[in-house]
Each structure stands twice: as C-alpha cells, then as structure tokens.
Amino acid sequence: MIAADVGPGPASQIVAAIRKNADGDLTEILRMEIFNRVNIPRPSLENSQTRPHVIMFVGVNGSGKTTSIGKLSYNLTAKGKRVVLAAADTFRAAAAEQLTLWAEKSGAQIIKAQEGADPGAVTFDAIKAGMARQADFVMIDTAGRLQTRVNLMEELKKIKRVADKAMPGAPHDIWLVLDASSGQNSFSQVELFNQAVGLTGLVLAKLDGTSKGGAVVAISDKYKLPVQFVGLGEQPEDLEKFDPAQFAQALVSQ
C-alpha cells in the first residue's frame, strides 16, 4: 500500500482491519476498505439546477487542468449542454491557445484576453457571457505556476471573489486537478489549494499512466472531497466519471 501511495495513515488502519478479519478473504477486505474510503457522495453535474453552473479549476502547472476542461467541455456539449470557457490562465499566451483549440473541438464558446491580462476580468466577462447566452456551464481555467505560490493563491482568491460579483454564489464548484503520478505530493497540493480557496472536488488526471492514484485514498480519508472525473488520456473521449468500485479494484490488482 505504501508503494501504491496510499499513505501511512490509511495503510496502517487497513492493515489493522485485515488483522481483525484474518479468516476472511484478504483481497476482498482490502478492496472494501479502499472502496469505503473513496466512495464519497458526489452530486451529478447533470442534475445541477444552477444556470450557468460555474466551475473553477485549480492545480499546479502541468497537472492537467486545461486538458480536463477541454475533455469535460466536449463531453457536455455532446450531451447538448451549452458551455462557455474562461481562459483565466493569462500568464502564458500558449495557455489561451490551448484552450481555444478545445473550444473549437467541443463547440464551446471561449472568453479570453491578451497575455498578462487580469484573470479576474476574463472570469467576470465569461460568467456574464454565460448568463447572457443562457449557458449551462462556465468553466474557468486558471494558472498553476507554483514558483510564485503566494501570488498564485492571491490570484485564485481574487478570481473567486470576482466570480461571485458577476453571479452571486459563483463559483459553484472549485475542483483541484491532480496528476495521478504525483503520489504523496498531491496531499500537500490539496492542503494548499483547499486552504486558499476551499475545494469542492477533485479531478484525477493521467490515470492511464503507471500510477493508479493511491494517494486519493488518504486524501478522501482526510478531506472527504469526492473525485468527480478521471483522465485516461489526451483525446476528447478520455474522461470518465469516477467509479469508486473500479478504482478500488484497480488498486488491489496493482
């Protein structure tokens, strides 16, 4: 379990549970212990009564934010939902270009600005556009550079405040995108971003790699944050709803 990034806390609890049931099917007990920890209720996006439902994506550089937004946008527009994307990572011009490609691929609308522009202004405009166009979802892409940790967290707090100004109650969700291969490092990412902006859920990207995302077991245990989606590649279809049973099974098989 340590090798699978489950973390020392849950690992020793699970070992204790297995000791108690030493006569039982060990693999089955292990699977259930993992399942019970990651099976956190997650409200379905499709049932949201809020229009537009505004989701802000946060996370460190390269974790998979822009790609996850692109795939989710593709998924939602395919179901007939109207989506507006906010290119609020204005740190690099390439970030807006990357999101523009996803907007084109999925048929979403995109609000963007020049490199270096105020991410709050982009967020404000995107939410207003989403309201005016009666969009179902507005998804906000944000920057993730951690070398300027304090600035980034202040920037994210500001985006959150501006979103609420544009539409009281927004953002309705703030999801942290984790790279499944980050291992125990993802624990401190959750701590950091949760403290700054208050998370409502997780996206586990790059689960198609060698790591089966065991760190989520400890994260779920402590923060009770549901994993909403998992990323399984770079193609538009490579995003799936998180399935706790399948996740537990994959981790045990590993």
213 binds ligand GDP (CB under 6 A): no
Q: Which of 56, 63, 66, 206 binds Mg ion (CB under 5 A)?
A: 66
Walk across the sheet containing 227-231 and list its strands.
Answer: 109-111, 83-87, 137-141, 53-58, 173-179, 201-205, 227-231, 239-241
Q: Which residues pair with 176 in a beta bridge?
A: 58, 202
State the nearest-atom distance from the C-beta of 102 to ligand GDP, in Å.
9
Applying CB under 5 A, the span of 37-45, 73-81, 90-98, 131-139 interacting with Mg ion comes to: 90-98
CA–CA dist 68, 161 (Å, integer): 23
In the list 106, 231, 244, 251, the residue contacting ligand GDP (rule: CB under 6 A) is: 231
For residue 154, state whether it binds ligand GDP (rule: CB under 6 A).
Answer: no
Q: Which two tokens stand for residue 42?
A: 């997650």
Pick between residue 131 and residue 233 the one whose CB is nearest to Mg ion: 233
How many residues touch ligand GDP under the rule CB under 6 A: the total is: 18
- Taking CB under 6 A as the criterion, the residue among 64, 120, 171, 213 binding ligand GDP is 64
Structure tokens at 247: 């996740």
Strand 239-241 with 227-231, pairing: antiparallel
30/137 with CB nearer ligand GDP: 137
Choose the one of Mg ion, ligand GDP, none that binds residue 236, judging by a C-beta under 5 to 8 angstroms depending on kind. none
67 touches Mg ion by CB under 5 A: no
As a whole number of angstroms, the distance between CA 131 and CA 153 comes to: 27
Report the SS3 class of residue 37. Answer: helix
What is the contact surface with Mg ion in residues (CB under 5 A)? 65-66, 95
